[in-house]
Amino acid sequence: MNFEKKIRKEKVIQFGEGGFLRGFVDWMLQKINDKSDFDGNVVVVQPIEAGMCDALSAQNCVYTHVIRGVEGVDKTLVDVISRCVKPYEDFASYIALAENPDFRFIVSNTTESGIVFSDEDKITDAPPKSFPAKLTLLLKRRFELSLPGFIFLPCELIDRNGDNLKRCILKYADLWSLGEDFKAWIENENVFTNTLVDRINTGYPKGEDLALGYEDNMVNTSEFFHLWVIETDFDIEAELPFSCADLNVIITPDKLEMYRTRKVRILNGAHTSLVPYALLSGLDTVKSCIDDPTMREHLRKCVFEEIIPTLDLPRDELLSYAESVMERFGNPYIKHYLSSIALNSVSKFKVRVLPSILEYIKRFNKMPETLLFSLAKLIEFYKTDMTSDAPEVVEFMKSASVNEILSNSALWGEDLSHLTTEVEKYVGK
């Protein structure tokens, strides 16, 4: 790949080099640089010992991001990553990032288990194991130099990700006796946002010819849809002008939970209300369900007739989002296997679908027939050998009656026996 890379100021420290951040944050920063005077590059920190930084560095940290869907194909050459830093090989270069006053943003995607506190991490570790511990050492050096703090944009898929990250850092400050002045600096000179991210990234397209006309071993692929909800009172737009690039970014002081609920109930809820029924019907991917008239009708009834009426965002916005979800499910380039979504289906149903059932009954004083049909199919599904769940859950579900299952508050968080008669109508149908 022959490409003259642009030189920009290094403004973003990014923990993680995987396909999601490269196809979401870095792709956005490319668009922002192209459309504004942001003039900012990214330094990638490889948060674990083994990663893809060597492969990324081998092509000067430039790669192609390909977006594919029913809308067509879009190819963007992304050159916003200036270099990679590997703390496990060169800890000094990692800590030196704190010394550059141009750095303003820290983004991360260290998986759902990344934002954790461990009292086994020591201040003398180079580096410590956990992501928040590594970050605390970087912040300690920044504080010692009397430099401004950072704006944190964590992308980990956990609730209140920014709040949890700050909480871990403050716990390390206590564990390592870094002092009240440091803790006050963390609180007052840094901005920790809570975020929600939404985009299906499908990574390197193995076995496919994308007709790029050049070799790119780090090519990344995704769907067109993208959404980043950032909850903060801070004026991020003044420093990072998302709006200039027509990106689907929502900055809100207090509505993240509403958008999170929308995604969990509509997108994730649609998956979970569909999967047992579809697997019992012999289907294998989400796309195959969209192509099947019976399954498509079931899915649309769940979402449009029984889930959306229980949500409080503007109806037009909910309908638009739901239609986009249906389009995403039908993306011919994405093979989303039902078996992978089926993992731990009971706990997923509890979080993603049960709230819609209970809220529907509360609001309308009647039963949501299609969602209860889905609950019946879930119970049937656990009578088969297709399930993947904790052994005790599988054993109980396989042998228990419908009433015994619904009465088990350990599974559902409450006694659902009042649904027994309605659910039993659909078992075996």
Interval 31-52: pLDDT, tens: 999 999 999 999 999 999 989 9
Asked if 338 contacts 385 with a C-beta cutoff of 8 angstroms, the reply is no
Whether 1 has a pLDDT exceeding 70, the answer reads no
Number of neighbours of residue 117 by Cβ within 10 angstroms: 18
Which CATH number is associated with domain 257-424?
1.10.1040.10
> What are the angstrom distances between the C-alpha of 109 and each of 207, 232, 276?
27, 19, 30
Closest alpha carbon to 66 in 79, 77, 82: 77
Across 154-172, average pLDDT: 94
Which pLDDT value is given to residue 335?
77
Interval 112-152: pLDDT, tens: 678 999 999 999 999 999 999 999 999 999 999 999 999 99
Across 177-181, average pLDDT: 98
Which pLDDT value is given to residue 203?
81
Which pLDDT value is given to residue 408?
96
List residues bridging with 73 in a β-sheet.
Answer: 68
Interval 58-79: pLDDT, tens: 999 999 999 999 889 999 999 9
Q: How confident is the model at residue 336 (pLDDT cuts 50, 70, 90)?
A: confident
Interval 231-289: pLDDT, tens: 999 999 999 999 999 999 999 999 899 889 899 999 999 999 999 999 999 999 999 99
Which pLDDT value is given to residue 4?
82
Give the tokens for residue 418: 């009042």
Q: Domain ranges for the chain, please list them.
A: 9-254, 257-424
Asked if 30 contacts 80 with a C-beta cutoff of 8 angstroms, the reply is yes
Closest alpha carbon to 331 in 179, 185, 223, 207: 223
Question: Rounded CA gap, 10 and 52, in Å?
Answer: 20
Instruction: For the chain, give the mean pLDDT.
Output: 94
Q: Parallel, antiparallel, or unpaired: how do β-strands 151-154 and 105-108 relate?
A: parallel
Which pLDDT value is given to residue 112?
65
Interval 398-428: pLDDT, tens: 999 999 999 999 999 999 999 999 999 999 7
Asked if 96 contacts 110 with a C-beta cutoff of 8 angstroms, the reply is no
Whether this prediction's pTM lies above 0.85 is answered by no
- Fold topology of 9-254: Rossmann fold (3.40.50)
Across 318-342, average pLDDT: 89
Percent of the chain at pLDDT > 90 equals 83
| CB contact set of 37 (below 8 Å; sequence gap of 6+) | none
Whether 351 has a pLDDT exceeding 90, the answer reads no
Low-confidence winner among 158-162, 205-209, 405-409 (lowest mean pLDDT): 205-209
